[in-house]
């Protein structure tokens, strides 16, 4: 069909206008993308500057505290430089949020709070610079500063949240533009290509039609020859692959189940050579029991009906040995859908089957051990009952009668007799303590462990209240950092803190006031002694350190063993069970406990509890 010159010109003009239209759209989208990128970058700059500002404020507080504690000019310089950094961040933020009404309002509030915080810090520095520091004034000033920092943190979080909302909007705009832009560019390119192709086609239409027909014929001929060659190569590769496969027995059967083809994998698994097996039925691989229940015929029938049949079971090799075979039989049909044969693929899974049986036996063994463990727990429960009642009752009577004898008949008892009665009373008390510690230790093995989200600060406060008389008697100093809130067994963790603080107070040096420090941090698993690849990546580390008598580090592991003592009973009281109880409690929380010490300098006990995901 011939197209007139006027119509052809009209088509080109319309196509050109369409091309220019989509080119304009593409240009506008490019500008929009650039604008979105600038806005996203701006949002990230605001968030980064907020982080820098808060960090500078924290550094200012650090310099202030250091100067108040040490009067060292280095901390004063840190205080000044941190304020300068904070001021720079404030100036930068003022420029960044200019024009954003909501952020400008929030920033003004933030600057007012920072100015107030600066005034509070300057008052603190003036108090610190004075000759006499009034503790009440310092504490009041620190409390006000803490409240101000919390309000600053709230304002910064508010600005960060606003920036996140703006960032989400800008990212959404950017995403829309970036998704639409390729389509627009593609349309422009397609229109350009279409114009070119149409032009070329119309110019060379008459000349190329004959050449195209001739070329089509040559191409079709070459493609046909190429496909025939590739088909021949593919068939050769397939037959070679099938024959060389070693891990699978691939067998070709006729429609009656007689073996017609056999690969090397079948020879390896079954033990028959190709000459020995060709022409035999597949029943030669089945046991007498399977043949009696006609399993081979049933599998061929199932494959004929469903197109495929699978089965796993014991098969027989040429030498009579068994192997666990996973079998898949597939039906082969001709163009008229008549069955012309079957392919049978068998895989030797004997090793896997034996491994499954070993695993089953292992599970039975585990189940048996669990039953034994339950019985052991029942015995422990019985022991607890005996220890709680039958063992303690005679001890209480011994202590009661000794007390009555020494109180009512002290004038008739010689000094030697009084000494003997005192030793009996001491031994009975030690036995009472030993029974109590054993009961506590066995309680840590109980299965009914209920984990509760617990503020460890409240547990420490409760424990320190119990030790208040001892702390006052020894003039001990207790320093406690803020501890985390964890999922723990509360009474066990309270016992853990009790035992460790009792150790620090008990093993203090003579004429030296005990100083006990309790700290908390989060550490990586590679810093945890004894942690393995199966442990979590991070741990809460709670450290209780003291300035007591310490011990040699070679005993750092043995002190957690039941009844292990490093000192005589006459020097320090105790049963040698307390640290074993600590270890058992930490293990109940999937944690690790370790110790390190320097003689006559002090000890550190580290409790590592996995960070909850």
- More confident of the two residues 47 and 264: 264
CB atoms near residue 332 (< 10 Å): 15
501-559 pLDDT, tens per residue?
Answer: 988 898 888 888 999 999 999 998 888 887 765 567 889 999 999 998 888 888 788 78
Neighbours of 411 (CB within 10 A): 5
CATH ID of 245-348, from 3.80.10.10, 1.20.1250.20, 3.30.420.10, 3.30.450.20: 3.30.450.20
- 113 or 6, which is more confident? 113
Select from 390, 395, 392 the least CA-distant residue to 424: 395
Per-residue pLDDT reduced to its tens digit, 372-403: 666 666 665 565 555 555 555 666 666 666 66
Neighbours of 14 (CB within 10 A): 10
Residue 122 to residue 434: CA distance in whole angstroms: 58
Strand partners, 610: 539
Q: Contact at 8 Å (CB) between 133 and 77?
A: no
Tokens 């509360």, located at residue: 490
pTM of the model: 0.38
Which of the residue ranges 204-213, 536-545, 551-560, 562-571 would you say has the lowest mean pLDDT?
Answer: 562-571
Q: When comparing pLDDT for 112 and 269, which is higher?
A: 269
Band (pLDDT 50/70/90 cuts) for residue 336 is: confident
Is the distance from CB of 46 to CB of 163 less than 8 angstroms?
A: yes
Considering 47-56, 67-76, 347-356, 406-415, the range whose residues carry the highest mean pLDDT is: 347-356
- Does the structure show a pLDDT above 80 at 282? yes
Scanning 409-507, the segments in alpha helix (DSSP H) are 415-443, 456-466, 468-474, 490-506
For the segment 448-458, the average pLDDT, to the nearest whole number, is 86
Interval 317-326 mean pLDDT: 87
Q: Who has greater pLDDT, 268 or 398?
A: 268
3-state helix, strand, coil in the chain (%, to 5): 65, 15, 20
- Of 247 and 233, which is predicted with more confidence? 247
Q: How far apart are CA 154 and CA 110, in angstroms?
A: 9
Smallest CA-to-CA distance from 578 within 437, 450, 370, 372 is with 437
Q: Decide: 584 and 445 in contact? Cβ < 8 Å.
A: yes
Task: Determine how many CB atoms are found less than 10 A away from the CB of residue 263.
Answer: 22
Q: What is the pLDDT of residue 447?
A: 47
**So what's the pLDDT on residue 525?**
85
CB-based contacts of 570: which residues, under 8 Å, 6+ apart? Answer: none
Which of 48-52, 222-226, 548-552: highest mean pLDDT? 548-552
pLDDT exceeds 80 at position 592: yes
Rounded CA-CA distance 596/599 in Å is 10
- pLDDT for 568: 47
Q: What confidence tier does 476 reach under pLDDT thresholds 50, 70, 90? A: very high
Higher model confidence: residue 319 or residue 112?
Answer: 319
CATH number of 446-610: 3.30.565.10
Mean pLDDT, residues 590-594: 90
Q: What is the pLDDT of residue 131?
A: 47
Q: Are 168 and 161 in contact (CB under 8 A)?
A: no
Q: Is the pLDDT of residue 26 over 90?
A: no
> What is the rounded CA–CA span in Å between residue 152 and residue 154?
5
Sheet holding 308-316, edge to edge: 259-262, 248-253, 339-348, 322-333, 308-316
Calculate mean pLDDT across residues 419-434.
59
Helix (H, G, I), strand (E, B) or coil at 42: helix
What is the average pLDDT across 347-372?
82
Cα-Cα-Cα-Cα torsion 279, 248, 356, 321, nearest 10 degrees, comes to: 40
Instruction: Looking at mean pLDDT, say which of 235-239, 481-485, 578-582 comes out highest.
Output: 481-485
Spatial distance between the Cα atoms of 113 and 118, rounded to a whole number of angstroms: 9
Q: What are phi and psi of 359, to 5 degrees?
A: -65, -40
174 against 493, higher pLDDT: 493
Q: Which residues pair with 180 in a beta bridge?
A: none
pLDDT in the model for residue 180: 62
How far, in Å, CA of 548 to CA of 555, rounded? Answer: 16
Mean pLDDT of 250-269: 85
Contact criterion met (CB below 8 Å) for 119 and 111 = no
Q: What is the mean pLDDT of residues 78-107?
A: 76
CA 447 and chain centroid, separation? 26
Determine the pLDDT at residue 132: 42
Assigned architecture for domain 353-443: Orthogonal Bundle (1.10)
Query: Cα separations (Å) of 497 from 42, 491, 609?
Result: 50, 10, 14
Checking if the pLDDT of 254 tops 80, the result is yes
Q: Average pLDDT of the chain? A: 76
- In angstroms, the first-to-last Cα distance of the chain is 73
List Cβ<8 Å contacts ≥24 apart for 421-428.
424/398, 425/399, 428/395, 428/398, 428/399, 428/402
pLDDT score of 599 more than 60: yes
pLDDT at 136: 62
pLDDT above 70 as % of the chain = 63
Q: pLDDT at residue 362 above 70?
A: yes
């Amino acid at each position: 069909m011939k197209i007139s010159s006027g119509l052809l010109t009209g088509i080109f003009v319309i196509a050109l206008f369409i091309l220019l239209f989509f080119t304009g759209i593409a240009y506008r989208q490019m500008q929009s993308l650039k604008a979105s990128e600038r806005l996203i970058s701006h949002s990230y700059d605001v968030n980064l500057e907020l982080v820098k500002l808060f960090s500078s404020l924290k550094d200012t507080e650090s310099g202030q505290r250091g100067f108040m504690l040490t009067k060292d000019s280095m901390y004063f310089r840190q205080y000044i430089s941190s304020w300068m950094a904070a001021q720079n961040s404030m100036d930068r933020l003022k420029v960044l949020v200019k024009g954003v009404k909501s952020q400008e309002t929030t920033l003004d509030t933030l600057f007012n709070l920072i100015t107030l915080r600066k005034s509070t810090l300057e008052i603190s520095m003036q108090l610190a610079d004075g000759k006499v520091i009034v503790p009440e004034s310092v504490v009041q000033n620190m409390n006000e500063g803490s409240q101000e920092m919390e309000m600053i943190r709230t304002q910064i979080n508010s600005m960060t949240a606003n920036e996140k909302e703006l960032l989400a909007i800008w990212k959404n705009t950017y995403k829309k533009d970036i998704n639409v832009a390729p389509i627009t560019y593609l349309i422009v390119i397609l229109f350009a290509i279409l114009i070119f192709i149409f032009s070329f086609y119309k110019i060379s239409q008459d000349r190329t039609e004959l050449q195209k027909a001739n070329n089509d014929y040559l191409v079709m001929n070459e493609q046909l020859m190429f496909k025939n060659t590739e088909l021949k190569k593919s068939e050769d590769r397939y037959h070679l692959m099938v024959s060389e496969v070693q891990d699978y027995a691939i067998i070709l059967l006729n429609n009656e189940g007689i073996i017609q083809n056999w690969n090397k994998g079948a020879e390896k698994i079954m033990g028959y050579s190709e000459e020995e097996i060709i022409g035999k039925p597949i029943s030669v691989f089945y046991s007498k029991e399977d043949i009696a229940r006609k399993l081979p015929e049933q599998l061929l029938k199932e494959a004929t009906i469903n197109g495929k049949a699978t089965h796993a079971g014991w098969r027989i090799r040429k030498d009579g040995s068994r192997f666990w075979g996973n079998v898949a039989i597939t039906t082969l049909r001709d163009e008229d859908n008549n069955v012309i044969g079957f392919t049978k693929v068998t895989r030797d899974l004997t090793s896997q089957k034996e491994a499954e049986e070993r695993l089953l036996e292992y599970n039975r063994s585990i189940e048996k051990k669990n039953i034994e463990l339950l019985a052991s727990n029942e015995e422990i429960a019985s022991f607890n009952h005996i220890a709680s009642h039958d063992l303690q009752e005679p001890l209480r009577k011994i202590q009661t009668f000794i007390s009555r004898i020494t109180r009512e008949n002290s004038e008739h008892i010689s000094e030697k007799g009084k000494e003997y009665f005192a030793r009996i009373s001491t031994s009975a008390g030690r036995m009472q303590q030993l029974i109590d510690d054993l009961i506590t230790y066995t309680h840590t093995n109980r299965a009914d462990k209920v984990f509760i989200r617990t503020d460890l600060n409240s547990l420490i406060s409760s424990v320190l209240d119990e030790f208040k008389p001892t702390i006052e008697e020894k003039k001990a100093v207790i320093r406690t950092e803020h501890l985390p809130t964890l999922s723990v067994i509360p009474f066990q963790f309270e016992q853990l803190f009790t035992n460790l603080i009792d150790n620090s107070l008990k093993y203090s040096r003579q004429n030296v006031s005990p100083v006990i420090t309790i700290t908390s941090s989060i550490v990586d698993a590679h810093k945890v002694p004894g942690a393995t690849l199966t442990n979590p990546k991070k741990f809460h580390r709670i450290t209780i350190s003291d300035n007591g008598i310490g011990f040699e580090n070679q005993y750092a592991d043995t002190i957690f063993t039941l009844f292990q003592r490093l000192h005589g009973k006459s020097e320090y009281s105790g049963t040698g069970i307390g640290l074993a109880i600590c270890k058992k409690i930490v293990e109940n929380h999937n944690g690790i406990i370790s110790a390190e010490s320097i003689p006559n300098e002090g000890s550190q006990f580290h409790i590592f509890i996995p960070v909850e995901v």
